Amino acid sequence: MGKGNGKSEVNLDLEHELPAADEQEETAAKVEARPETVSASETDKLRAERDALLDRLARLQAEFDNARKRAAREQQEFRDFAAADAIKAILPALDSLERALKAPAAEGNELRSGVDLIYRQFQDALQKLGVQPIASVGKEFDPRVHEAIEMVDTNEVEDHHVLDELQRGYKYKERLLRPAMVRVARKT
Residue 113 burial class via C-beta count within 10 angstroms: exposed 0-12, middle 13-18, buried 19 and up: exposed
Cα–Cα distance for residue pair 28/34, rounded to 1 Å: 10
- Residue 151 has phi, psi (to 5 degrees) of -105, 125
> pLDDT tens digits for 66-122?
999 999 999 999 998 899 999 999 999 999 988 888 887 776 677 888 888 999 999
Give me the count of residues in the chain: 188
Question: CB neighbours of 126 closer than 8 A, spacing ≥ 6?
Answer: 87, 90, 94, 170
Where are the domains positioned within the chain?
132-188
> Domain 132-188 classified CATH 2.30.110.10?
no
> pLDDT tens digits for 33-60?
444 555 888 999 999 999 999 999 999 9
